[in-house]
């Protein structure tokens, strides 16, 4: 059974602490003690420039000599950070006899305490320890926590502390004080604090808030960028497209206002002008607004129109790119979109046709050394096949349809252009890849398709 540790935060202000060693390893140990206000004395024959500078600045006392037993007199704790295990053992044994806490760097058996990996946000500190077993793992966890607990947690914690002290001074009854503190520590309170802070600091050129265009990627929440995840977790308002998975939308705070801004061809839905109005209104109210769009917001989305509207209204915005569907589909099908021997061009196209939509001039685009990534094919496979064949592509040109890429419902159909007209319609979102880079297994599947037709489609789609 692993040794049970007692986690504690020590007050070191003014306490005498000793560090034996002044090399690179000792630097961070010395710095952390100085940060906490300890009276730090360092003994070592040589020292790094950083340690020498700290001594010149009066932050520490450095004595240029070897460790002596008398150095432990009146010391609260000692850190052994040299390259000598024998010296560490000597320091540890002497510290044990004197009742002094000892930490021998990278030697757990000679430690009374461990240095944790620490997230510091003002008065809020989160310490991570692996009991000396895996310091690198503790550092990785610290990095993840730093992304989740942003710098605003410091002043927010201070604000809660001031409110608590005021209630204690005014004699508020314990049960009432507890109820108020629970509310002050809620996610809603944090969001309100962020909005007040944004307003006070003048974020958004006087408009108060800010709009973030976030790429939600193809569907797998783990394909969100770290930056997108962090911003979404602090959103006050989220306007999301229809095909953004619920798992990603749920990453927003519970108190955030969630709006479905999906535009569906042929169905009554929110207008583009209404989306513009909501983005502007919420930003001017000082909120953090997330415009959450599937894939990458700059590929076949409405970001261009929305950015123009925000510019005209003087609202600040930022774009956080995401994994676009072509990349996700190619990864799912294990295809190199620009294989050096097969495709020197990658052409993105949209097959979506609603009123006013752009219609591709296929003949001007067709070339035999290209890969075509056709977004939003919908139920238009017969038309797409007809137009590509008419534009000059051969019926044996291989194709891949990838439906719901990167999700548990992912479906991959391999065929050729001649068989595309009879392809079943898999669930949206789907993407069609056309070109020689998709040829793997395409000939066999196309032959089977021609022989089995709809029976194969039913088998593949279940």
Amino acid 52: pLDDT: 96
Q: Which helix (H) or strand (E) holds 25?
A: helix 24-35
Q: What is residue 152's three-state secondary structure?
A: coil
Structure tokens at 111: 């430690």
**Which pTM value belongs to this model?**
0.57
- The single residue of 263, 345, 369, 394 carrying the catalytic annotation is 263
- Could you tell me whether strands 210-215 and 398-403 are parallel, antiparallel, or unpaired per DSSP bridges? unpaired
Structure tokens at 160: 């809660």
Q: Output the CATH code of domain 206-320.
A: 3.40.1010.10
Active-site residue flag, 263: yes
Farthest-apart Cα atoms in the chain, separation: 93
127 phi and psi, to 5 degrees? -105, 135
Amino acid 35: pLDDT: 93
**Of 67, 75, 127, the residue nearest 101 (C-alpha):** 75
Q: Which helix (H) or strand (E) holds 158?
A: helix 153-170
Amino acid 264: pLDDT: 57
Structure tokens at 155: 């002043």
Dist CA 238 CA 249 (whole Å): 8
- The single residue of 29, 210, 241, 416 carrying the catalytic annotation is 241
Amino acid 201: pLDDT: 52
Quickly list H helices, 40-118. Answer: 49-56, 85-98
101 phi and psi, to 5 degrees? -65, 135
212 phi and psi, to 5 degrees? -115, 125
Nearby residues of 432 by Cβ (< 8 Å), 6 or more positions away: 351, 372, 373, 374, 377, 381, 384, 399, 400, 401, 420
CATH fold of 326-461: 3.30.950
How many other C-beta atoms lie within 10 A of the C-beta of residue 70? 6
Nearby residues of 42 by Cβ (< 8 Å), 6 or more positions away: 18, 19, 20, 21, 22, 26, 30, 51, 55, 60, 61, 62, 63
How much of the chain is in helix, strand and coil states, percent to nearest 5? 40, 20, 40
Overall CATH class of domain 16-115: alpha beta
Which residue bears the tokens 């009991």? 131
**What tens-digit pLDDT sequence spans the chain (462 residues)?**
567 889 999 999 999 999 999 999 999 999 999 999 999 999 999 999 999 999 999 999 999 999 999 999 999 999 999 999 999 999 999 999 999 999 999 899 999 999 999 999 999 999 999 988 888 999 999 988 887 788 888 999 999 999 999 999 998 999 999 999 999 998 888 878 877 776 565 444 444 589 999 999 999 999 999 899 989 988 889 999 988 999 999 888 877 889 998 765 545 568 999 999 999 999 988 889 999 999 999 999 889 999 999 999 999 999 999 999 999 999 999 999 998 888 889 999 988 655 444 456 677 777 888 999 999 888 889 989 998 998 889 999 999 999 999 999 999 999 999 999 888 888 888 999 999 999 854 334 434 444 444 333 334 433
Active-site residue flag, 152: no
Q: What is residue 364's three-state secondary structure?
A: helix
């Amino acid at each position: 059974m692993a040794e049970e540790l007692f986690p504690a935060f020590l007050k070191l202000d003014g306490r005498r602490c000793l560090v034996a060693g002044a090399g690179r390893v000792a630097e961070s140990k010395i710095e952390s003690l100085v940060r906490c206000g300890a009276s730090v004395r360092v003994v070592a024959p040589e020292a790094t420039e950083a340690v020498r500078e700290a001594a010149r600045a009066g932050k520490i006392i450095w004595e240029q000599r070897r460790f002596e037993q008398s150095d432990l007199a009146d010391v609260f704790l000692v850190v052994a950070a040299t390259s000598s295990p024998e010296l560490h053992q000597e320091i540890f044994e002497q510290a044990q006899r004197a009742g002094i806490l000892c930490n021998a760097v990278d030697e757990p058996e000679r430690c009374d305490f461990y240095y944790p990996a620490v997230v510091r946000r003002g008065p809020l500190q989160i310490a991570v320890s692996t009991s000396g077993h895996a310091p690198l793992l503790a550092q990785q966890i610290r990095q993840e926590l730093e992304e989740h607990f942003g710098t605003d947690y410091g002043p927010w914690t201070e604000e809660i502390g001031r409110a608590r002290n005021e209630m204690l001074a005014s004699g508020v009854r314990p049960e009432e004080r507890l109820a108020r503190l629970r509310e002050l520590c809620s996610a809603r309170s944090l969001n309100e604090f962020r909005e007040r802070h944004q307003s006070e600091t003048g974020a958004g050129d006087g408009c108060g808030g800010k709009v973030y265009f976030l790429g939600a990627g193809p569907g797998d929440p783990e394909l969100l960028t770290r930056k997108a995840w962090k911003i979404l977790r602090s959103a006050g308002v989220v306007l999301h497209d229809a095909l953004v998975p619920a798992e990603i939308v749920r990453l927003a705070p519970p108190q955030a206002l969630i709006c479905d801004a999906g535009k569906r061809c042929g169905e009554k839905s929110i207008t583009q002008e209404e989306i513009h109005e909501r983005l502007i209104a919420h930003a001017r109210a000082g909120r953090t607004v997330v415009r959450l769009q599937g894939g990458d917001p700059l590929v076949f989305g409405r970001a261009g129109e929305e950015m123009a509207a925000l510019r005209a209204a003087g609202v600040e915005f930022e774009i956080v790119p995401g994994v676009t569907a072509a990349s996700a589909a190619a990864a799912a099908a294990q295809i190199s979109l620009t294989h050096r021997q097969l495709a020197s061009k990658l052409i993105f196209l949209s097959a979506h046709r609603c009123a006013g939509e752009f219609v591709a001039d296929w003949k001007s685009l067709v070339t035999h050394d290209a890969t075509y990534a056709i977004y939003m094919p919908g139920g238009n496979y017969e038309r797409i096949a007809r137009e590509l064949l008419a534009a000059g592509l051969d019926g044996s040109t291989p194709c891949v349809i990838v439906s719901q890429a990167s999700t548990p419902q992912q479906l991959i159909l391999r065929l050729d252009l001649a068989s595309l007209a009879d392809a079943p319609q898999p669930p949206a979102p789907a993407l069609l890849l056309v070109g020689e880079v998709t040829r793997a297994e395409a000939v066999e599947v196309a032959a089977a398709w021609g022989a089995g037709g709809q029976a194969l489609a039913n088998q593949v789609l279940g």
